[in-house]
Amino acid sequence: MASDVVEERLLRKLAEVDTPTVSNAIETLGVRGRWEGFMNREVRCMFPEMGVRVGYAVTVAFSEHREDVKGPSMGEVWAAVASARGRPKVLVAQDVSSPEYFCLGCWFGEVYSWTLRGLGVVCVVTDGGVRDLDRIPEIGVQYFAGGVTASHGRIMPRAVNVPVTVAGLTVKPGDLLHTDRHGVVLVPKDRVPEVLEAVQGVLRREGTLIERLRAPDVTPEKVVQILRGG
C-alpha cells in the first residue's frame, strides 16, 4: 500500500474476525515464521467480553520513578498519543523498571483510561499492571496486562514513540495490531487485503472440515481418514 494508514473499511472487516483466524490467515501468506508476530502469555486480556480491538500502535516505555534519569513529561506523552497518525489507537507500554520494581507499580487505572479514551485509544497492551477493574469496562478501553495491582507506586515515562517489546513481541510506532480475548497479533499493514482474502479461505476450509467431523455417522476410522485428506 502507498499509505501507512489502512482504509477504514478494511479495518472494519478485520474487526469482524477473531484473532486466531487472523493469525491463521497470516500464516498462509508466508510473510513470517510460525513463532513470530504475536504476543505470548506474559500478558492476558483483562476484559474478554469487550471483543475485538484493532488499531495503530503508539508506544511508550515507563519505569519506577528515578531522580537520576530524565524522561519525557506526562504532557509530552499525551501529546504524542494525540498526534499519532491513524485511528483507532493501541497504546503499547513496556515496563522497563529495575527488577525489584518490575510489574510492582501500576500506571493504568480509571483516570488514565478516561484520558486515553479521549485521545482515541481503544486498547492498552502492557507488561505492567492495571487496577480499577470494576470501573474500566464502562469506559470501554480494553487492557492486556501482566497483572493486577492495588497501588500505583510511583511511575515515570522513559521514552515515547520508540520500538518496545512486550510479551515477546517487538512493536514499532504505527504498527497495526489485532486483539481479542485470545491475545495480540501484529498484522502486516501492506498485506491487509490479502489477509482478509486469506481469512475467507481459512473459514471455508475449517468449516468444511468441522462439518465432516460433526457428521452423525462419523467413526474414529473416518476421523483419521478425514484428517489425512481422504
pTM of the model: 0.93
Average pLDDT over residues 14-37: 96
Average pLDDT over residues 79-95: 95
Backbone angles phi, psi at 45, to 5 degrees: -70, 125
CB 173 within 8 A of CB 59: yes
> Residue 102: what pLDDT?
76
DSSP string, the chain: --SSS--HHHHHHHTTS-HHHHHHHHHHHTSS-TT-SB--TTSEES-GGG--EEEEEEEEEEEE--TT-----HHHHHHHHHH-SSSSEEEEEEE---TTTTTTSEEESHHHHHHHHHTTEEEEEESSEE--TTTHHHHT-EEEESEE-S----EEEEEESS-EEETTEEE-TT-EEEEETTEEEEE-GGGHHHHHHHHHHHHHHHHHHHHHHT-TT--HHHHHHHHTT-
- pLDDT bracket for residue 12 (50, 70, 90): very high
Characterize the bridge pairing of strands 89-95 and 121-126: parallel
The tens digit of pLDDT for each residue in 159-204 reads: 999 999 999 999 999 999 999 999 999 999 999 999 999 999 999 9
pLDDT digits (tens, 9 = 90+) for 107-166: 899 999 999 999 999 999 999 999 999 999 999 999 999 999 998 889 899 999 999 999
Rounded CA separation 116/89 (Å): 9
Cα separation, 140 vs 155, in Å, equals: 24
Q: Going by C-beta distance under 8 Å and a sequence separation of 6 or more, which residues neighbour residue 45?
A: 142, 143, 144, 179, 180, 181, 182, 183
The mean of the pLDDT values for the chain is 93
pLDDT at 3 over 80: no
Question: Residue 168 in contact with residue 39, Cβ under 8 Å?
Answer: yes
Share of the chain above pLDDT 70, in %: 98
Q: What is 8-198's CATH superfamily?
A: Ribonuclease E inhibitor RraA/RraA-like (3.50.30.40)
Check whether 205 has a pLDDT greater than 70. yes
